[in-house]
């Protein structure tokens, strides 16, 4: 673990860099939220051509297919050209996708538009968390990593409402032998008075170790520590999607409508969006204090109780509509609690931990695999939610989500390590099962330019 003494690192530039990288997450959030306010307008013929319910389900889920398609290729691209340039280039497909969507003349153009937009959104979901995990010092990495989900929720709220970068840090520069650029990046992110020598030497030593033990991508993926990290990340992505979040977001208008609350449908989605932003902001504030595991466990347990409550309401409604005449508050309250707890835990933390768990030489590919699994699962849930409701019943569908979420809590309790306050190298040591590794002590003082750290 790297300990710092003497001149403290500046954090404001790191906040700026993380927010800049998370800008693409805002755009991704607008894609996720677009289907809810657009559904009635599209199926109602406002575009000038017919859109059936079945076609709309494909329009909604085409985005997740595009995201799943791009995640693995983008993992190789970010290692070739860097995180910053990759994120800048993603502006082009974002612009093309929105142009096709705005001026669509038929359903096929909408399919293409959503698929292209999904490519952009999915690519950002892989690139931004990795970039943030690399530039952030360990004591604020959780906060900066949660900016990604915060901007996603802000994008969802934005689209609900209107419906009614920096050079790559550290290892990526060092791996290209650009020591001068690495020094400039460290000084910009940590402050000009920060003694960069120890940090740079540590990065160079790590990169040299990677080069000496260089293996193919396939071999690196099969390392026990990589398989363990991948299992944890894939598990978190699985339970993030199978708790039913995208079904709730994509069909939140329908949930309010079915509950017969009397609340305007557009207003109801805005309320959901506001709750998401506030709850995710709370997560940003506490994730480095309370830790990842606690937020995940609390999130899963309360979400399970919420979906049980929604299931009870809709089961009663399906069997006897009069029995829920005075219970319209129940599904809405349960939905609100679900959204809040998801936004505090299982929303931001899986993406945050994806940027923490993998070694630098395999992070692009392994992170891409985790991102692909997330979007494939998102497609399955959003495409089959209506079918599950018809086959099982609304209540039973929500109970299914609740059962899976309970399993998610068990998974977190048994297998997910706490990464709060640990350096990226220390996390690798933790995953290897060696908690007694000697720390690297870095003395950030101006007394000597040769303070390259002492191994105790």
Q: What is the 3-state secondary structure (H, E, C) of 209-227?
A: HHHHCCCCHHHHHCCHHHH
Where are the strands (E) in 247-291, listed by range?
none
- Whole-number Å distance between alpha carbons of 15 and 421: 17
pLDDT at 293: 92
Q: How far is CA 352 from CA 122, 141, 143, 379, in A?
A: 15, 9, 9, 21
Instruction: Give domain status of residue 262, yes or no.
Output: yes
Helix segments in 164-264, DSSP class H: 171-175, 179-190, 196-212, 217-221, 224-242, 245-250, 252-259
Q: Percent of the chain beyond pLDDT 90?
A: 12
pLDDT at 67: 84
Per-residue pLDDT reduced to its tens digit, 239-286: 998 998 876 766 676 667 766 666 666 677 777 778 888 888 888 788
pLDDT at 308: 93
- Whole-number Å distance between alpha carbons of 216 and 222: 10
Q: Looking at residue 32, which CATH number applies to its domain?
A: 1.20.1250.20
Per-residue pLDDT reduced to its tens digit, 154-212: 877 776 666 543 222 232 253 334 455 555 555 555 555 555 555 556 556 655 655 55
pLDDT at 393: 85
**Phi first, then psi: what are they for 140, rounded to 5°?**
-125, 10
Which residue would you say has higher pLDDT here, 135 or 153?
153
Q: For residue 86, is pLDDT > 70?
A: yes
pLDDT at 30: 77
- Whole-number Å distance between alpha carbons of 454 and 147: 34
pLDDT, average across residues 367-379: 83
Which residue would you say has higher pLDDT here, 99 or 43?
99
The pTM is what?
A: 0.69
Going by pLDDT thresholds of 50, 70 and 90, the confidence category of residue 46 is low
pLDDT at 169: 29
pLDDT, average across residues 404-422: 92
Going by pLDDT thresholds of 50, 70 and 90, the confidence category of residue 131 is confident
Question: Is 442 strand, coil or helix?
Answer: strand
pLDDT, average across residues 99-117: 86
pLDDT at 327: 76
Instruction: Give domain status of residue 445, yes or no.
Output: no
pLDDT at 431: 85
Which residue would you say has higher pLDDT here, 5 or 216?
216
Query: 44-48, 94-98, 327-331, 387-391: lowest mean pLDDT where?
Result: 44-48
Instruction: Give domain status of residue 364, yes or no.
Output: yes
- Whole-number Å distance between alpha carbons of 141 and 21: 14
Please give the tally of structural domains in the chain: 1
Per-residue pLDDT reduced to its tens digit, 284-336: 788 888 888 999 999 999 999 999 998 888 888 888 877 777 777 788 788 88
pLDDT at 5: 41
Instruction: Give domain status of residue 206, yes or no.
Output: no
- Whole-number Å distance between alpha carbons of 306 and 245: 12
State the residue range of the domain holding 284. Answer: 13-189+218-432
Count of Cβ atoms closer than 10 Å to residue 50 Cβ: 11
Instruction: Give domain status of residue 270, yes or no.
Output: yes
Instruction: Give domain status of residue 443, yes or no.
Output: no
Instruction: Give domain status of residue 157, yes or no.
Output: yes
Going by pLDDT thresholds of 50, 70 and 90, the confidence category of residue 80 is confident
pLDDT at 70: 83
Instruction: Give domain status of residue 203, yes or no.
Output: no
- Whole-number Å distance between alpha carbons of 118 and 177: 34
pLDDT, average across residues 395-420: 92
């Amino acid at each position: 673990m790297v300990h710092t003494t003497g001149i403290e690192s500046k954090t404001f530039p790191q906040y700026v860099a993380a927010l800049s990288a998370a800008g693409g997450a805002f755009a991704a959030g607008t894609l996720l939220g677009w289907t809810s306010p657009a559904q009635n307008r599209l199926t109602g013929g406002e575009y000038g051509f017919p859109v059936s319910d079945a076609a709309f389900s494909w329009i909604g889920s085409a985005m997740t297919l595009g995201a799943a398609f791009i995640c693995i290729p983008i993992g190789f691209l970010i290692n070739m050209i860097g995180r910053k340039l990759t994120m800048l280039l993603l502006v082009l497909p974002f612009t093309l996708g929105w142009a096709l969507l705005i001026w669509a003349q038929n359903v096929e153009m909408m399919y293409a538009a959503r698929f292209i937009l999904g490519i952009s959104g999915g690519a950002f979901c892989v690139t931004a968390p990795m970039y943030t995990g690399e530039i952030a010092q360990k004591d604020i990495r959780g906060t900066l990593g949660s900016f990604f989900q915060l901007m996603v929720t802000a994008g969802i709220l934005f689209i609900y409402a209107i419906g009614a970068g920096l050079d790559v840090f550290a290892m990526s520069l060092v791996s290209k032998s650009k020591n001068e650029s690495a020094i400039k990046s460290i000084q910009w992110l940590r402050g000009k008075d920060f003694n960069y020598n120890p940090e740079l030497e540590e990065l160079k030593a790590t990169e040299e170790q990677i080069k000496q033990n260089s293996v193919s991508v396939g071999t690196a993926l099969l390392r026990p520590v990589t398989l363990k990290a991948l299992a944890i990340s894939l598990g978190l992505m699985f339970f993030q999607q199978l708790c039913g979040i995208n079904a709730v977001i994509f069909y939140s208008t329908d949930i309010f409508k079915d509950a017969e609350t009397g609340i305007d449908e557009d207003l109801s989605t805005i309320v959901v969006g506001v709750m998401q932003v506030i709850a995710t902001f709370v997560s940003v504030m506490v994730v480095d204090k309370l830790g990842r595991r606690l937020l995940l466990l609390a999130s899963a347990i309360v979400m399970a109780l919420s979906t049980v409550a929604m299931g009870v309401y809709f089961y009663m409604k399906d069997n006897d509509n009069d029995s829920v005449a005075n219970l319209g508050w129940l599904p809405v309250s349960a939905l609100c609690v679900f959204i809040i707890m998801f936004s505090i835990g299982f929303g931001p933390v899986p993406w945050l931990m994806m940027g923490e768990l993998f070694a630098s030489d395999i992070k692009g590919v392994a992170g891409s695999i985790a991102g692909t699994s997330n979007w494939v699962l998102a497609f399955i849930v959003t495409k089959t939610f209506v079918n599950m409701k018809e086959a099982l019943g609304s209540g039973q569908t929500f109970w299914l989500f609740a059962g899976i979420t309970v399993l998610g809590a068990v998974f977190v309790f048994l297998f997910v390590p706490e990464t709060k306050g640990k350096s990226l190298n220390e996390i690798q040591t933790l995953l290897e099962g060696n908690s007694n590794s000697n720390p690297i002590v870095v003395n950030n003082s101006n007394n000597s330019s040769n303070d390259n750290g002492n191994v105790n």
